[in-house]
A and B are shown apart, each in its own frame.
Chain A
């Protein structure tokens, strides 16, 4: 039926081009598997180099968060076919979520950290 014409068949900004939609699906699966394998390997080995703190979080945790966002991007863009949708739909979903999630995460984590500091420096101690 020639439906494949409606799918954009490039990933990594055109570095990898697929011949058909099915081929692209397997390609994305391989990529997601590699990312997950890297995450698991890092989680098991826990390299000492990555244990230093950067912006009040361990380097290794930053890597985990970034790799998670990478996976989220490819699941949404290729499995959920967001790549083939109009810019309007992409923007309404992604900008809304990124704004609200980033905002919620920011205020909740800062608040949690603040309460930790208060409990740490106050005269109340949790030693019973």
Chain B
């Protein structure tokens, strides 16, 4: 059985067969890996904290970025979706620990069912993360960027300063500019995909609609983004050099450039862990069905993959707090 063997049963520790710390080799190595992996995530999260403290008065507010919920278009639902994802992952952790428990009692069918549920939960979680990424990358409102890299967002003062999308106020100018590729310009020059609207179109739309104000990156004492007056807004818009839609690794419409970078790297690295966890779970699940562990007489392999799976859940608890709550 995989559970601990009391070391008192062993007469002499130097005769071999005794386990350091009463844990098997595999479990000990999994703990080694978890400690080192936890430090990798620590590196990511403290780097995030560093950048955030460095830009403490202009960091994007999570509730204004992550407010989507499936099938509820245009509804402002901050946090609900990530909270749901958190529940899904915690629940898949529970089915995992139930599989480990069934393994202790050598109940093959129960282990298989719980492993399958765990795989399902993990897959739903990865899918949710993909959906979150799609919304993040697509963006909804669009923004401008100044030469200094500040993001300019727009609000409608007639609509209690709610965000307004570029498409709702631009003046469309019938000119066509093609994206430069290697085969239609200088062969050594390319550019990334062009935004839907040109800077000129946004500028003209802004000038034509006096009710539109600029929401700056700066945060006031109450924790809200500062909305500029019309004069300040016009000055700010005149400094813009880019139209930003959605997010990529260079710029994003939500604010500080590092925000999207950390979002992609931290949730991406975590998502990669969940993905590998699902793959390993599937391998173990097949082995359970084949009866590998039944022949071996113990289900310690389920326990080891369980440790990894719980660790992934543990990391998400921290990512959830520092990315979405704080």
Contact = CB atoms under 8 A, between A and B. Distances in A.
A15 interface: no
Given A22-B98, A65-B321, A97 B39 contact: yes
Interface in B1-42: 1, 3-4, 21-23, 28, 31, 34-35, 38-39, 42
Size category of the binding interface on chain A: 35 or more
Q: Is the interface of B mostly helix, strand, loop or mixed?
A: helix
B130 interface: no
Contacts of A12: none
Contacts of B222: 51
Interface of A: 1, 3, 6, 21-22, 25-26, 29, 32-33, 36, 39-40, 43-44, 51, 61, 64-65, 67-68, 71-72, 75-76, 78-81, 84-86, 88-89, 92-93, 96-97, 100-101, 104-105, 108-109, 111-113, 115-116, 119-120, 126-128
Contact of A25 (B31, B43, B79, B94): B94
Minimum-distance CB pairs A-B, first 10: A112-B53, A112-B50, A3-B104, A128-B148, A108-B46, A89-B21, A108-B50, A68-B321, A40-B83, A112-B54
Interface stretch (B85-93, B246-254, B260-268, B288-296): B85-93
Interface string B112-153: 000000000000000000000000000000000011101000
Given A61-B326, A68-B317, 11 more contacts: A3-B105, A22-B98, A76-B310, A78-B97, A79-B313, A80-B310, A97-B39, A100-B42, A104-B42, A109-B49, A116-B56
Contacts, number: 152
Chain A, interface SS category: helix
Which interface class (under 10, 10 to 19, 20 to 34, 35 or more) fits B? 35 or more
Contact of A109 (B53, B57, B80): B53
Interface of B: 1, 3-4, 21-23, 28, 31, 34-35, 38-39, 42-43, 46-47, 49-57, 63, 78-80, 83, 86-87, 90-91, 93-94, 96-98, 100-101, 104-106, 146-148, 150, 222-223, 239, 303, 306-307, 310-311, 313-314, 317-318, 320-321, 324-326
